[in-house]
Amino acid sequence: MTVRTRFAPSPTGMLHIGGARTALFSWLYARHHHGEFVLRIEDTDRERSTDEATRVILDGLSWLGLDWDGEPVFQASRQADHVRAVEQLLEQGHAYRCYCSREELDKMREDQRADGKKPMYDGRCRHRTDHPEDQPYVVRFRSPDTGETIVRDMVLGDVAFNNAELDDLIILRSDGTPTYNLAVVVDDSAMAITHVVRGSDHLNNTPRQIQLYEALGLQAPCFAHIPLIHGPDGAKMSKRHGAVAITEYRQAGYLPEAVNNYLARLGWSHGDDEVFSREQLIELFDLEQVGKTAARFDQAKLDWLNAHYLRQAKPEDLVDEVQQLLNVDASQGPDLARVIASLQERSKNLVEVADGARFFYAAPEAYQEKAVKKNFRDTTWPLLERFLEGVEAMADWSGEAAHTLIQQVCEAEGVNMGKLAQPLRILVSGGPISPPIDLTLALLGRDEVLRRIHAGIKALRD
RNA sequence: GCUCCCAUCGUCUAGCGGUUAGGACGCUGGCCUCUCACGCCGGAAACAGGGGUUCGAGUCCCCUUGGGAGUACCA
């Protein structure tokens, strides 16, 4: 039997970090077992589903590289099948029409709660035999009253539910549309899904779904409920916890391989290893190494991984993304790939790379006050003058030459390199932080360096 | 409230009856150094509590406590 998994998001919101990890685990499981990974958009809630959300979900998955097999299935398009299943259940006595009004149900639940009981449909329409034509009705599944339903979960192990705890759930709304639990069962079966990998928030639905599989005479898939991801404060992930939509990580300069690696390690592990390429993930991932405990989202660790992958990246591969974030024309100044290379090991994301690259293409308009105060004193000016003289006299311009010149000037004046390097850095970049000074000067080019130093001296000394 | 799930450093985790309880992020001391980083060396830091079972329990069982999920004509 070839493995076939699915990711089934509802297009009612963005693809967030938790959904992305569910998709990743599901995808990894399929790829590891040389199976298939398919997509189903669960848009049966017509009120809240939007095309925009669907697009964002698909974009997010594409960005992460979680490719799916075949075309996405839109659940709403499968309504005829769902209704047919409901009719079958109705005919076989596994379901019945319920004419209770919402008000009636609300009151019932309210009363039960007041009695300290679990709110459950009490089955008052179960034995109704009349079928008033003019009254709206829903169809409910006739759930067994006795015995227990066992979920054999690949992550959590066996979980037993007392059937008496499960009430008769609605499978068809009064408007004739199917509800979630019915639709998943019918579709997972129709799509030949072998393994349902989803968030553990679905665990409580699973016994109901198993009962539906049985009633419909269908084979239930294997289930794997993976633990949820919580926000940094331990509470449920929500919009309050920073960038939740996966697309926001892209905008914030994160690399997809870093996000995948981080997400994979949230709940899954392979001994003491931390860094996994996509290929390694596919090779090593399995459900057996998935833990049961919910994890908190830790931005600091994601940052570390992102910095790691950023350092490994080929500069040319980052040019387009950085150019996007730069907001200045990089075609006139130094080669952007070389500038990126100089910034990779001192940045933790692409936004920082872009920020660090900007001065290469736009001369500073101001000099950071604090840095100027710290690094400029009366003795600085003679050093700069001598450096300038040296540059003018230089035949060729290179990083090595600049380095040697700085060294010579400093030695002659009996000061360490920082006394000259820092003022130079501030003059050419506007601040106290940049790639190594010799490399920075080489990248900028002799003319631009001279221009900036003169302008800086003029601005700061006068 | 009721049902279900979970519980090792601050965080992510290794551990699958006998370990000086390991790694990683973060934090921190030092080295390197023209800045910021990178890198290297070192440090602090955990088995939620209580009962069992066992020669022996972080590992198995029960209870407590603490988190979480579900409890819709949402998915």
What confidence tens digit (pLDDT) does each residue in A421-442 have? 999 999 999 999 999 999 999 9
Name the protein residue, with chain letter, whose CA is nearest the C1' of B34: A418
Q: Quick check: A256 CB within 7 A of strand B?
A: no
Q: Which two tokens stand for residue A27?
A: 């995808």
Structure-block tokens of residue A227:
């633990």
The pTM score is 0.95
Distance CA A194, CA A293 (A): 24
Decide: CB of A138 under 7 A of nucleic strand B.
yes
Q: Is the CB of A126 under 7 A from strand B?
A: no
- pLDDT tens across A164-202, in order? 999 999 999 999 999 999 999 999 999 999 999 999 999
Taking the CA of residue A142 and the C1' sugar atom of nucleotide B1, their distance in angstroms comes to: 25
In whole angstroms, B3 C1' to A84 CA is 31
Sequence-ordered list of residues with C-beta below 8 angstroms from that of A181, at least 6 positions apart, any chain: A169, A171, A205, A208, A209, A212
Closest CA to A364 of A451, A446, A461: A451
Question: Which chain A residues in 163-222 sit with Cβ < 7 A of strand B?
Answer: 165, 170, 173-175, 179-181, 200-205
Residue length of chain A: 462
A103 beta carbon to strand B: under 7 Å: no
Quote the pLDDT of residue A240. 52
Please give the full DSSP string across A424-442, using - where no structure is assigned: HHHHHHSSS--S-HHHHHH
With a 7 Å cutoff on the CB, does A240 touch strand B?
no
Q: What are the pLDDT digits (tens) for A332-353?
A: 899 999 999 999 999 999 999 9
Q: Which residues contact A377 (CB under 8 A, 6 or more apart)?
A: none
Centroid of chain to Cα A447: 45
Q: Active site residue: A107, A117, A118, A239, which one?
A: A239
CA distance A208 to A214: 10
CA distances from A55 to A11, A213, A255, A270, A401 (A): 9, 31, 20, 34, 53
Looking at the predicted complex, does its ipTM rise above 0.85?
yes
Whether CB of A117 is under 7 Å from strand B: the answer is: yes
Shortest-distance nucleotide from A151 CA to C1': B4
- Closest nucleotide over all strands to A356 (CA to C1'): B36
pLDDT band for position A262 (cuts 50, 70, 90):
very high
Estimate the crossing angle of helix A350-357 against helix A336-343, to 10 degrees.
Answer: 120
| H helix intervals, A334-398 | 336-343, 350-357, 369-375, 380-393
A438 touches strand B (CB under 7 A): yes
CA of A294 vs C1' of B65, distance in Å? 18
Whether residue A374 lies in the annotated active site: no
Q: Which nucleotide is nearest to A238 (CA to C1')?
A: B68
